[in-house]
């Protein structure tokens, strides 16, 4: 991926990020809206290309939090064999299904999750996809630590994992799948907070067929439901601290 404008990661440019909470929104609607935001950033980048530094307009990045009604999404590198429900069964369970353009395999989104869509022009941060994914993982790891949940990474896999203890398997608590165009990010992460994990039984999550790996949630690990607004508030600030920006009023 080529950079259109200069890498601003070492400059004094202020990163302007707006925070948007879309609540519980149908997946197709959220996909369309985040794509519009991404394309707006790309269009601005193209327009700035032919302008002087003084004439260039500043980019407004977005961090979006939401949840979705029950839905399975399959990444471009995934296999449909990992969806274990036929269309008639999906209708019975009232769960939608979309093939999308992020990386990764199949996952589930539903109520009780925090789905995060950072729409960032990485030319203003750093042009390194792997670092970007690692920083999202780090934000989740720090959030979980604030609740007394020890989490980390699993070699060879993206996302955030809990290590085995008390006879438990390795448990994935947050899935990550991203797509970039002209260094502008799309899609993001899904953190299981108060999620109904039964819906993961109808897929092979992330295409991982290892019996020693499971899916979990914050509520399952802590034995209680959590205040979603409190979790979102903490995570929102952790992301700002890691990516070194302050939120602006939209």
- 247 forms bridges with which residues in the sheet? 17
Q: How far apart are CA 49 and CA 52, in angstroms?
A: 8
Question: Is residue 90 classed exposed, middle or buried when 0-12, 13-18 and 19+ CB atoms within 10 A define those classes?
Answer: middle
CA distance 205 to 213: 10
Give helix 129-146 / helix 228-243 axis angle, nearest 10°.
140
Q: Please say whether the dihedral angle defined by the alpha carbons of residues 93, 96, 99 and 102, taken in this order, is positive or negative.
A: negative
Measured CA to CA, the distance from residue 77 to residue 40 in angstroms comes to 26
Contact 202, 194 (CB under 8 A): no
Q: How far apart are CA 144 and CA 142, in angstroms?
A: 5
Q: Are 231 and 114 in contact (CB under 8 A)?
A: yes
For 29, other C-beta atoms within 10 Å of its C-beta total 12
Say which residue the tokens 């941060």 belong to: 125
Q: Which residues are catalytic?
A: 206
């Amino acid at each position: 991926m080529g950079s259109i404008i200069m890498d601003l990661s070492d400059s004094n440019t202020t990163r302007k990020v707006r925070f948007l909470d879309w609540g519980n929104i149908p997946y197709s609607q959220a996909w369309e809206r985040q794509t519009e935001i991404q394309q707006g950033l790309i269009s601005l980048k193209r327009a700035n290309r032919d302008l002087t530094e003084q004439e260039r307009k500043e980019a407004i990045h977005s961090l979006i939090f939401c949840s979705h009604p029950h839905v399975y999404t399959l990444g471009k590198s995934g296999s449909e064999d990992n969806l274990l429900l036929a269309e008639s069964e999906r209708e019975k369970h009232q769960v939608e299904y979309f093939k999308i353009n992020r990386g990764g395999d199949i996952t589930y989104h539903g109520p009780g999750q925090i789905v995060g869509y950072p729409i960032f022009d990485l030319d203003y941060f750093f042009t390194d996809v792997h670092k970007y994914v690692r920083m999202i993982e780090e934000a989740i790891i720090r959030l979980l630590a604030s609740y007394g949940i020890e989490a980390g990474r699993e070699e060879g896999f993206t996302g955030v994992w809990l290590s085995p203890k008390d006879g438990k398997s390795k448990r994935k608590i947050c899935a990550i799948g991203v797509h970039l165009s002209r260094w502008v990010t799309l899609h993001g992460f899904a953190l299981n907070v108060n999620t109904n994990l039964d819906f993961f039984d109808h897929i092979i999550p992330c295409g991982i067929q290892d019996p020693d790996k499971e899916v979990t949630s914050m509520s399952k690990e802590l034995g209680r439901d959590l205040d979603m607004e409190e979790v979102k508030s903490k995570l929102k600030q952790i992301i700002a601290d890691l990516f070194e920006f302050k939120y602006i009023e939209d």
